[in-house]
Structure 1
Amino acid sequence: MVAERRPGARGIRLRADSIDGAVRFTLPPRGGIADAATLLDRHQDWLARQVAGWPVPLPFAPGAIIPFDGSTLMLDWAAAHPRLPQRNGDVLRIGGPIDALPARVLRWLKAAALADMEPLTRALAARVDRNVSQVRVGDTRSRWGSCVGNGAGAGRIAYSWRLILAPSLVRRNVVAHEVAHLVHANHGPGFHALLAELDANGAASKRWLRAHGAGLHWVGRAA
């Protein structure tokens, strides 16, 4: 359980965070502890239902089957396999020391995500006559993508590497969303019109992320 005081908070907020797997309290600058305890006691059943619905950790371990590009990959580890991960269909072969397996899988997935989304980003940016100075991947929890810079200058776009675990239609829509921000810094009518022009799968992408997005953050997490 995590408690956080916020200067602007006027009341107490209780939240079951399905991404981090934590129960969080937001408290006002002073007091609130007794009220928080009462709120927690009154919502025990609700919290139990929320926690029961959280995803299950899926560590990068020998034999693990992880989501990848809308399908799955089985992690085939053996010390004698080549240390550089090699994909063969729905199998990812990895060798070397067992304790290096998680880091090697993570590096491979990040590289796969960048190789997939960078060309698409630059292609869509060219369609709207914008330049992109940098495309990178990271591991953000609050947003699937971000765009810095718009207008005539070159923009920098970043994505969560975890998008490579999702179907391609989800990645394309996130890429289109960030490219549209190269032209429109807000989410006004012009932005949404351009996004629909760049990709027509917005509704399907949002449905998929609502249903499965939290689970992507549990991939690679230790049990």
Structure 2
Amino acid sequence: MMPTELEIGGRIVPVVLTRRASQRAVRLRASAVAGHIEISLPARGSEDIGAALLNSHRAWLEAQVARWPRPIPFAPGFIIPIDGEPVLIDWQETHKRTPVLVDACLRIGGPLPLLAGRIERWLKARALADLDTSTRQIAAQLDRKVARVSVGDTTSRWGSCAGALRPEGARIAYSWRLILAPAWVRRSLVAHEAAHLIHQNHSPAFHALNRQLDPRAGEARRWLARHGAALHWVGRAIQPE
């Protein structure tokens, strides 16, 4: 029988089973971003085959999970990145409830059970304000309209641009977790999505414009390839021993 979770290296790792009609073979993936193991089966594939694949690849799975980032909860005393810099969560019940960033400390008060939610909402608002401003600035340089900028918590991409050819302007969305990355990395993502206002593809012309808007585009891609997965573990609770 296919397990719903595995204990690997002291972690309880969820196992997600998916089926795809077009798939012909069983596939195994350990996602450092989602923090789960995924078994993909053909539409009529037996779960026993998936379970056997898990058993036969146990050593490989252990090696993959060992490289996963560790969770950093929104809890007192933990250090989270903001703009790529370490920031201590300084919670005292008597502090003001609205978070305030002071001297590498995020000072916040109020009831402890509500702490994580308030920090996340504050980070999302900070991300949206920053990304909205910078997106519209670069769009103006390109003489293009932006109808809406939004933030979400996607795991498949850091940004997206839709409707670039619409008269009212494009809708550009980002991961709010970019506020955790250095500002220059965040701006590079903005330049990338803004370049899609001109080129709705990844052609040589697109990449040329992207480099023109941001000479550090390649460096930012490498930074995200190396550190991006860890951003998705910020705000996750630590599993009990």
TM-score norm. by structure 2 comes to: 0.89
Q: Which amino acid aligns with 2:188?
A: N
Residue 164 of structure 1 pairs with residue 164 of structure 2: no
Give 1:32 deviation, angstroms.
3.8
Q: Which amino acid aligns with 1:126?
A: A
CA distance in 1, matches of 2:132, 2:86: 22
Q: Do the aligned residues in 2 keep the contact of 1:12 with 1:32 (CA within 8 Å)?
A: no
Within 5 Å, give how 1:1-223 maps onto structure 2.
1-151=15-165, 153=167, 154-223=169-238
SS of residue paired to 2:172: strand
Cα RMSD over matched residues?
1.2
Q: Which amino acid aligns with 2:221?
A: K
CA distance in 2, matches of 1:8, 1:152: 34
CA distance in 1, matches of 2:166, 2:41: 43
Give 1:168 deviation, angstroms.
1.3
SS of residue paired to 2:62: helix
Percent identity for Structure 1 against Structure 2: 54
CA distance in 2, matches of 1:52, 1:195: 35
| 1:116-173 C-alpha deviation (Å, 9 max, x unpaired) | 2111101110111101111111111111011111136311111111001001121011
CA distance in 2, matches of 1:90, 1:193: 37
Bigger drift between 38-47 and 171-180 goes to 38-47
Write out the 4+ residue segments of structure 1 that deviate beyond 6 Å after TM superposition. Answer: none
| 1:166-193 C-alpha deviation (Å, 9 max, x unpaired) | 0112101110111111111111112111
CA distance in 1, matches of 2:166, 2:205: 17
Q: Which amino acid aligns with 1:104?
A: R
SS of residue paired to 2:40: strand
CA distance in 2, matches of 1:104, 1:42: 43
CA distance in 1, matches of 2:187, 2:122: 20
SS of residue paired to 1:3: strand
CA distance in 2, matches of 1:160, 1:23: 22
Give the unaligned 5+ runs of structure 1.
none
